[in-house]
Amino acid sequence: MENRAIFSGRLLACLLVFPQLAISLIFFYWPAAQAVWQSFLVQDAFGLSTEFVWFENYVNLLKTPEYYHAIGTTFLFSLLVVFFSLAIGLLLAVMANRNIAGVQIYRTFLIVPYAVAPAVASVLFIFMFQPGLGMIARALQRNGIDWNPVLNGTHAMILIVIVSVWNQISYNFLFFLAGLQSIPKSVIEAAAIDGARPARRFWTIVFPLLSPTTFFLIVINITYAFFSTLGIIDTATEGGPNGSTSTLVYKVFLDGKAGSDLGGSAAQSVILMIIVIALTAIQFRYVEKKVHY
């Protein structure tokens, strides 16, 4: 760490870091350790005795077809959400980066979804997609599509993807816009003088220069699709029908809430923790690299 002009006074320093350390210890380290510990235990049906079983919970988990189903669901869901929210965010940012009239007004409108809670966003779309009364559901029905997310797994998946993408567009838009504005104009002008058309300029110069932003956003969006969408799924589909929209995080929530299988739920949490730590590590390695150049 850089050399600062430093105060003496150890007691004061300790008092200053104490609140944050205490809260981290009680509400972060202790529960994380508990989750790991619990994932090695099996509790009998009445909760009277527990037994240490090593990796049995993990082995059982990897034997259940539902778990693989949840992995598949999470993968499909995250892929769709990340792809569409990034593509739309980028398209809008490129357009809003032009020097056109009223651009500030467009930008203001486009950041609104960021402020809307995922669960509330979900309710807005449930209303539009409610069979029989929702505007879009009725339009679909008029065109011969028997839209019903309560019964049809594909429809349910489409619904939560639309809500999640809508909710995340503004975030990606803001970061892409910031990225675009940091690209020096002279580079693009030079290419234009060389005769490169706008589309070519975009794919050969702008897009590669945006790659750090894109990579950063991919990691952030995966984390978003994994965790922050829990409110969306719980409000819109409750993981159904038939588990078709039950992602890994939602499954931890469901299994733990039912409360019958604490060890299994804890094992799932630990697997998730490992995934997040891996994602975070990738993110930091990359951030470090960027700081160097």
Kindly identify the residues of this chain, within the stretch 110-129, that bind other proteins according to CB under 8 A.
Answer: 110-121, 123-128
Q: Residue 239, interface with other proteins (CB under 8 A)?
A: no
Q: Residue 50, interface with other proteins (CB under 8 A)?
A: no
Q: Give the residue with the Cβ less far from other proteins, 91 or 145.
A: 91
Q: How far is the CB of 127 from other proteins (least distance, A)?
A: 6
Of residues 54 through 83, those in contact with other proteins by CB under 8 A are none
Near other proteins by CB under 8 A: residue from 253, 263, 264, 267:
253
Name the strand (E) or helix (H) holding 137.
helix 135-142
Per the CB < 8 A criterion, the answer to whether 126 and 236 are in contact is: yes
Q: Residue 186, interface with other proteins (CB under 8 A)?
A: no
φ and ψ at residue 39, rounded to 5 degrees: -70, -10
Near other proteins by CB under 8 A: residue from 48, 52, 63, 108:
108
Near other proteins by CB under 8 A: residue from 87, 91, 150, 151:
91
Fill in the DSSP letter of residue 43. E
Per the CB < 8 A criterion, the answer to whether 279 and 273 are in contact is: no
Q: Residue 215, interface with other proteins (CB under 8 A)?
A: no
Read off the tokens for 171: 């975030």
Say how far apart CA 116 and CA 127 lie, in whole Å: 16
Burial, 132: exposed, middle or buried (Cβ in 10 Å; 0-12, 13-18, 19+)? exposed
Q: Which stretch binds other proteins (CB under 8 A): 47-55, 64-72, 145-153, 231-239?
A: 231-239
Q: Residue 8, interface with other proteins (CB under 8 A)?
A: yes
Fill in the DSSP letter of residue 172. H
Q: Give the residue with the Cβ less far from other proteins, 11 or 65.
A: 11
Read off the tokens for 49: 């005795």
Q: Give the residue with the Cβ less far from other proteins, 65 or 96.
A: 96
Say how far apart CA 158 and CA 140 lie, in whole Å: 13
Q: Residue 170, interface with other proteins (CB under 8 A)?
A: yes
